[in-house]
Amino acid sequence: MKFLIVDDDLAMCQILTFYLASHARCFSATNTTDALRLFTSSLRKEPFHTVFMDIEMPGFKGHDMVELFRQAEKNLNILEKDRFNLVMVSAHSDLNNINIALYTHGAKCFIKKPFTEEELINELKSSKILAE
């Protein structure tokens, strides 16, 4: 499995990588350019199983990035069942952001910062991203 972590906070990328490294190969991006490059370059050969997306980042919103990622999948005619799992990760747990993440972008779950490793892994298991 391959995970992509998109967060402008390098420390958060490192924490998520540390927590998830035993479950998947983790890649991270702290800006739009790197995130798009990593995502699109992997689509044809070995796409990401799951994308962990922060909502608030300088210059762009995670919701906008998700739309770009989903459009890239559609452009390559990737079947819906084969598209990446989305996990939104944010300190913003207001109803509007949660609704956009879950209902507009089809996120499997919404992880509120800060979180522990146990909370993260339990949520990923209950969302069927990780096996029990």
Q: Are the CB atoms for 113 and 13 separated by under 8 Å? A: no
Taking residues 31-39, report their average pLDDT: 93
pLDDT for res 43: 92
Non-local CB neighbours of 119 within 8 Å, separated by 6+ positions: 111
Mean pLDDT of all residues in the chain?
A: 92
Is the confidence at residue 18, as pLDDT, over 90?
yes
pLDDT for res 108: 93
> What domains lie within the chain, and their CATH numbers?
2-126 (3.40.50.2300)
pLDDT for res 59: 78
pLDDT for res 100: 82
pLDDT for res 84: 95
Give pTM, 2 decimals: 0.93
**Which stretch of 8-17, 36-45, 99-108 has the lowest confidence by average pLDDT?**
99-108
* Chain centre to alpha carbon of residue 47: 13
Taking residues 20-34, report their average pLDDT: 95
- Which residue is it, tokens 């990328």? 13
